[in-house]
Amino acid sequence: MKNFKRILSVVLCVCLLTTSSIGFAYAEDATSGAPTRVSVVVNGDTSSSRGFCWYTAQQADTKIEFEGVDASAYTVKDVVCEEWEGNFMHKLVVTGLEAGVTYTYRVGDGENWSDWGTFTTDNGDDKVSFINIADVQASDYEGFMKGADTLTAAFATLPGADFVSNCGDFTNDSTNEEWDAYDKAFAALNRTYTLAPVSGNHDGLGVEYWFNNMFALDTSESVQVKDGVNYSYDYGNAHFAVLNTNDLLSISYAQLKWLENDMNSTDKDWKIVFFHKAPYSLGKDAKWPDALYLQKSLTKVLDECNVDMAFYGHDHQYIRTKPLTDNKIDENGTTYVLSGTAGGKRYEVRPFLKNHFLDEDFIDRIVIQREGVGFEKEEYIGGCFEAVEINGDTLTLKTYIVNDATGETILVDEYSVTKKLGENKATFDGDNTTSELEYILGVVPSFLGLAVYALGEWLPEFLSLVPELLYSVIKYDVF
Ligand SMILES: [Fe+2]
């Protein structure tokens, strides 16, 4: 009996020690001093530079190290440690990395480190591939896991993806609790790829500065950072611009000018734009003027600058348009992709919007992710992602649904564009920053542009669809 008690106490001690050591080593535990919410984002030259952001509960040093790489081989700059909403935000930018190398890194204060993560720099060839997701917009761990499962399936489908674009609405309310739940679900994934984040309305409107404080982006050309960030980067033979559609409720003149200059400053053969609010959609928010104004304002710039494809979110369903120029079908125009939601919050189609704010002929493929109006197949009930590959003169887009019930990844759209290379010329070589004064001077004209559209075009069209809207409410309970 005595021996049994001794053995029992030894076993209990071993169990307690093991449990406590596991707890101490758990890098995502905010109370341990180890970093949380770690992200690696595009920042400057994608072949040699990345931005890193993370959080700690207490004030701590802001450090990074790379496995097997001497600190003299790269430069750390723009180091920031600031209190934000009760925690400490850390940011830094690493430059001087080698092209085409997979780096293993960790961040922390020198004693408390994150788990090791990886990312790969652009190797300089003319190929690029990326995963696009949008609108996880969850509030709790289970909701975020739906998005994380979709992203896991996306990497299984396109394992060599160079980066991930997230077209916004990361969380529902941008609170500490939600970002921690997001982190708990996504942390292991987020340490292993380069992210190009887009600010959604849930990331920027009414929750100012949250988006900029979650990602170490290059904000040097952003027209503002209060409710989102606009920036651009090259990868392979493509130029990518990321827009902020929270800017003066939609998009400011300053940002449109920035986009025009930015797109005219590249001779890359492919031009792609990411943003959040949806100009072409049949979803819940496709009846409001802030998003629809983009049909008037943003699409003009995309037309003028020969943008090949635009990805956006906001409306939680998948629509790919035929190529459009000046709001008309044109085989040389821009293809618009409403990304579908990677998460569990999904919208029905709004039939009353057809041929009012979106010409039915424009739609080349539509996939509704929940039962209701316009719904076709059980397999479409699941999270959505796009896998995009650009190889020389061909862009291939494949869209998938990860079925909720079976976990199966189902191809729901396939589309490719081939183009003549060498036609884009860089015609802008100036300063593309916007001063605070320039931005302020543009506020009134920007709001006037939106107001003129809303009163002159949107309102009469909206009033004309009210009877159909009421019918939809009565028949389908869909507003
Ligand atoms: Fe949204």
Tens digits of residue pLDDT in 291-314: 999 999 999 999 999 999 999 999
Please give, one letter per residue, the 3-state secondary structure of 160-207: CCCEEEECCCCECCCCHHHHHHHHHHHHHHHCCCCEEECCCHHHHCCC
Structure tokens at 80: 């920031």
The neighbour count for residue 314, using CB atoms within 10 Å, is: 30
What does the alpha-carbon distance between residue 228 and residue 166 come to, in Å, rounded to a whole number? Answer: 13
Q: Please provide residue 333's backbone torsions phi and psi, each rounded to the nearest 5 degrees.
A: -85, -165
For residue 208, what is the DSSP state?
T
Buried b (16+ CB within 10 A) or exposed e, 39-71: bbbbbbbbbbbbbbbbbbbeebebbbebeeeee
Tens digits of residue pLDDT in 82-112: 999 999 999 999 999 999 999 999 999 999 9
Q: How far, in Å, is the centroid of ligand 1 from the Cα of 204?
A: 10
Using the structure block, give the residue that is written with the tokens 């990321």.
242
Residue ranges of E strands in 392-469: 394-403, 409-418
User: Where do the domains of the chain lie?
Assistant: 30-118, 125-418
Q: How far, in Å, is the centroid of ligand 1 from the Cα of 151?
A: 19
> What percent of the chain stands above pLDDT 70?
93
Tens digits of residue pLDDT in 398-424: 999 999 999 999 999 999 999 999 999
Q: What's the whole-number average pLDDT of the chain?
A: 93
Q: Which residues contact 42 (CB under 8 A, 6 or more apart)?
A: 50, 51, 163, 194, 195, 196, 217, 218, 231, 233, 235
Q: How far, in Å, is the centroid of ligand 1 from the Cα of 275?
A: 10
Tens digits of residue pLDDT in 420-440: 999 999 999 999 999 999 999
pLDDT on residue 33: 77
Of 3.40.50.1000, 3.60.21.10, 2.60.40.4070, 2.40.50.60, the CATH number of 125-418 is 3.60.21.10
pTM comes to: 0.93
12 has pLDDT over 50: no
In Å, the largest CA–CA distance within the chain is 90
Q: How far, in Å, is the centroid of ligand 1 from the Cα of 268?
A: 30
The neighbour count for residue 145, using CB atoms within 10 Å, is: 19
15 has pLDDT over 80: no
The neighbour count for residue 5, using CB atoms within 10 Å, is: 9
Structure tokens at 382: 């699941």
Q: How far, in Å, is the centroid of ligand 1 from the Cα of 376?
A: 24
pLDDT on residue 31: 52
pLDDT on residue 346: 97
Which class is domain 30-118? mainly beta
